[in-house]
């Protein structure tokens, strides 16, 4: 006989009661997973309207500034430098004396050559008179004439060497860095300094064969240079008559005024060549464009607030925007921010696009940009 009273709740009832909280807990977790599903969460985006504005069509190229006249100042004969009038960076006029070599030996050679020529002429004149009387052969007279010609050539060479001892500026320009010192001996061909013409300069660049119809003599080109503030311009003065067979491009040269000499030969230039105007070009923020490999796409929002990813084609880039040449219509709306969370079924929380303008990055030419972007 058992002394324990019978339990009012059998064991099976206790087990059922214990399972109820477990089931409730599992249900709550399922609801939490559904609530935090990122595919169902609304996506906050900023939307911009496709903008219509005029656009000047522009060809871009990289060019280089060169001097139309540049030459090393170097003696044609060797000698000791006894005069050096080279002020580095100075402007000089054509014909200005830049250096002189010791010409003492050359002056002695000049006197000897002059004396030799005088003597040869005297002998020739005497022998001519003797030959006229029949006492001297014609061959001797011809030999005397040859001696005169030799003496004249020798005198001309000495005079040329004496002239070479003085180095003058062959054209007006700016002197570079002096490479020699007064009193040093210089061999023939030793560069003393480089002289360059800096105003005007040439701007040389190349354009592909497909753009050949858009460039002509007299056309204005615009360019900028890293490290030098401002926008510069020039006029096309020459096109190479033949294309480069390797790159199938044509060489173009423009003449650039440089009165303040801010521009220097050797500088790279970002060249822009205006070729026409599009009256109604379409623009979107650059950050709205989605890159998928070589393809470019954009999220377009319809009137119901639904977004569709659409293929587009791009044209010219501007400071903050880019031209769209295909895939959009004026007035359509595109997503500019919040792209990281976008997917085809996203529920959108839409705000107007607020572009961030940084004046330090705005290097655009208002005329080129068609009123800004």
Same domain? For 203 and 267 the reply is yes
122: its two tokens:
């005297």
| Token couple for 108 | 């002695």
Q: What confidence score (pLDDT) does residue 208 get?
A: 92
Same domain, residue pair 293 and 271: no
Q: What is the pLDDT of residue 12?
A: 53
Q: Is residue 177, in this structure, part of any structural domain at all?
A: yes
Domain count, the chain: 4
Same domain, 159 and 235: no
Q: What pLDDT does residue 141 have?
A: 83
- What is the distance between the alpha carbons of residues 261 and 229, in angstroms, rounded to a whole number? 13
pLDDT at 94: 95
Are 120 and 229 found together in one domain? no
- 169 in the same domain as 258: no
The pLDDT of residue 270 is 95
- Residue 139 has a pLDDT of 87
Domain match, 79 and 182 both: yes
Instruction: Give domain status of residue 9, yes or no.
Output: no
In a domain, 372, yes or no: no
Q: What is the CATH number of the domain that holds 350?
A: 2.40.420.20
Question: Residue 8 domain-assigned?
Answer: no
- Position 88 in a domain: yes
CA distance 130 to 147: 17
pLDDT of amino acid 127: 83
3-class SS at 110?
helix
The pTM of this model reads: 0.61
Q: Please report whether residue 176 resides in a domain.
A: yes
Looking up residue 80, the CATH number of its domain turns out to be 2.40.50.100
Q: What is the DSSP secondary-structure string of 110-147?
A: HHHHHHHHHHHHHHHHHHHHHHHTTSS-HHHHHHHHHH
Q: Are residues 289 and 260 part of one domain? A: no
Q: Do both 149 and 259 map to the same domain?
A: no
Tokens of 290: 């989605």
Round the CA-based radius of gyration of the chain to a whole number and report it. 43
Look-up of token digits 């300069």: 201
Residue at 283 is within a domain: yes
- Give residue 337's domain range: 43-58+278-365
Contact 179, 191 (CB under 8 A): yes
Give the tens place of pLDDT for each residue, 209-224.
Answer: 988 888 999 999 999 9
Low-confidence ranges of the chain (pLDDT < 70): 1-39, 357-373
- pLDDT given for residue 316 in this prediction: 85
- We report the CATH number of the domain holding residue 212 as 2.40.30.170
Q: Tell me whether residue 373 is in a domain.
A: no
pLDDT tens per residue across span 18-56: 555 554 555 555 555 545 566 678 889 999 999 999 998
Q: Which of 275, 290, 313 is the last residue of a domain?
A: 275
Tell me: do 336 and 300 sit in the same domain. yes
Sign (positive or negative) of CA dihedral 224, 228, 230, 235: negative
Same domain, 284 and 356: yes
DSSP element (H, E) containing 225: strand 220-225
Same domain, residue pair 79 and 177: yes
């Amino acid at each position: 006989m058992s002394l324990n009273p019978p339990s009012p709740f059998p064991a099976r009832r206790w087990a059922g009661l214990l399972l109820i909280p477990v089931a409730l807990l599992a249900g709550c977790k399922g609801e939490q997973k559904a609530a935090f599903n990122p595919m169902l969460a609304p996506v906050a985006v900023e939307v911009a309207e496709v903008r219509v504005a005029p656009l000047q069509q522009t060809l871009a190229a990289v060019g280089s500034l060169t001097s139309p006249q540049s030459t090393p100042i170097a003696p044609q004969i060797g000698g000791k430098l006894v005069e050096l009038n080279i002020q580095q960076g100075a402007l000089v006029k054509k014909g200005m004396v830049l250096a002189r070599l010791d010409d003492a030996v050359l002056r002695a050679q000049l006197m000897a050559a002059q004396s030799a020529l005088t003597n040869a002429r005297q002998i020739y004149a005497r022998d001519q008179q003797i030959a006229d009387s029949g006492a001297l052969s014609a061959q001797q007279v011809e030999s005397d004439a040859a001696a005169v010609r030799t003496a004249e050539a020798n005198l001309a060479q000495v005079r040329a060497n004496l002239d070479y001892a003085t180095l003058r500026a062959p054209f007006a320009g700016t002197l570079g860095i002096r490479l020699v010192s007064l009193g040093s001996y210089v061999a023939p061909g030793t560069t003393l300094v480089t002289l360059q013409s800096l105003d005007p300069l040439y701007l040389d660049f190349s354009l592909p064969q497909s753009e050949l119809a858009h460039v002509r003599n007299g056309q204005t080109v615009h360019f900028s240079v890293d490290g030098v503030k401002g926008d510069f311009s020039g006029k096309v003065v020459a096109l190479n008559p033949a294309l480069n067979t390797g790159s199938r491009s044509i060489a173009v040269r423009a003449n650039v005024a440089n009165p303040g000499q801010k521009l220097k030969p050797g500088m790279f230039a970002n060249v822009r060549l205006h070729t026409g105007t599009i009256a109604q070009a379409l623009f979107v923020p650059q950050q709205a464009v989605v890159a998928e490999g070589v393809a470019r796409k954009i999220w377009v929002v319809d009137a119901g607030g639904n977004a569709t990813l659409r293929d587009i084609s791009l044209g010219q880039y501007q400071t903050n925007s880019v031209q769209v040449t295909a895939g959009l219509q004026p007035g359509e709306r595109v997503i500019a921010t919040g792209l990281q969370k976008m997917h085809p079924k996203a529920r959108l929380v839409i705000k107007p696009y607020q572009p961030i303008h940084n004046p330090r990055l705005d290097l655009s030419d208002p005329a080129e940009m068609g009123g800004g972007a």
